[in-house]
Amino acid sequence: MNPHDPQDLVDDGYRRAKEVTRHHAKSFFFASYLLFGQRRKAAFALYAFCRRLDDMVDGDGPDVVPADLSVRLAKARQMVAELYLPMPELASQELGSPAERLMAAEAQSPWEPSEFAALKHTVRHYRIPEQPFQDLISGMEMDLTKSRYTTWEELDLYCYRVAGVVGLMLTPVLGCADVKASQPAADLGRAMQLTNILRDVREDLERGRVYLPSEELAAFGLSKSDLRRGKVDERWRAFMRFQVERARVYYARAAAGVHYLQGFGSQRMVRMMGAIYGDILRDIEARDYDVFSARAHVTTRRKLALATGVFMRPGTALPVPRGDAGAPLLPTGTGG
């Protein structure tokens, strides 16, 4: 590779992004085989961008203090702004001129230069708006300041910022410019993030975090102490049934937007991701909601079976609901 050749730098960035995806996101990488050419490379570039931010907050070593991370996230905001200097019409209207936002102090970047070059190529090729990237950084900032969530509204905002916006980033890549696709795309991200949270209760506890809303835990007679004990009783099962139902509502709402995607292979890819992540919920149920003693997962054999279903009976993978997909209610009757 010639480091002075911009195209070589971009090509190397896409290769690196592919390896990041292969290593860290096996389900996403598996589903990516349904995409082709530039769309597939762009999906890798977007994933690598998100992964680097997540690693910076969650796994950057014991010597990095929150203040340092805040500075680096501020630098990330500046670098995203830089992408939109030649595309002001796609820049965030909330944050003001990209040029003005670049006039800030220097800080270390979370991205390898070639990966960022690939991201820049992807953003400009598919004309992806800025706001989802900035909202993702806001979600990372929430992890610096919050380790508990009181209400579903708070957690829903977090799910939107760290995962719903990824759906918004991917929508142009998957061949859709219809604004009606935005809400279903964000809902799929929300559903997947909530699935992750339900699967990773034990791991999050070990990191000092409880994402499950304390108001909702209390509605089922549960507390943080109950989570630490890891006891699977009827209170916990009822709570988990409620959360699984909520996640499935979001998957159902996402399904209603699949038809907007016109890129070759895009609809099948989204159905595959929804099917795989939705199957984690099935495995949680199969374990009688015990997410403490082992991690729910989808086996490779099961993924292959789901892939076959996507090709043979696509309507059964991430199926469109009949009627309105309403959110479940808490035992108190308060809207969930």
- Mind listing the domains of the chain with CATH numbers? 1-128 (no CATH), 146-336 (1.10.600.10)
Sign of CA dihedral 73, 74, 79, 84: positive
Q: With b meaning 16 or more CB within 10 Å and e meaning fewer, what string describes 150-179?
A: eebebbbbbbbbbbbbbbbbbbbbbbbeee
Q: Distance between CA 133 and CA 52 in Å, rounded?
A: 13
CB-based contacts of 4-11 (< 8 A; 24+ apart in sequence) = 6/117, 9/113, 9/114, 9/117, 10/114, 10/117, 10/118, 10/120, 10/121
Query: Tens of pLDDT along the chain (336 residues)?
Result: 555 567 889 999 999 999 999 999 999 999 999 999 999 999 999 999 999 888 877 654 444 455 577 888 888 888 898 888 888 888 888 887 776 666 543 445 667 889 999 999 999 999 999 999 999 999 999 988 899 999 999 999 999 999 999 999 999 999 997 888 999 999 999 999 999 999 999 999 999 999 999 999 999 999 999 999 999 999 999 999 999 999 999 999 999 999 999 999 999 999 999 999 999 999 999 999 999 999 999 999 999 999 898 888 887 788 776 656 566 666 654 444
pLDDT of residue 333: 46
* pTM of the predicted model as reported, rounded to 2 decimal places: 0.87
Greatest distance between any 2 Cα atoms in the chain:
64
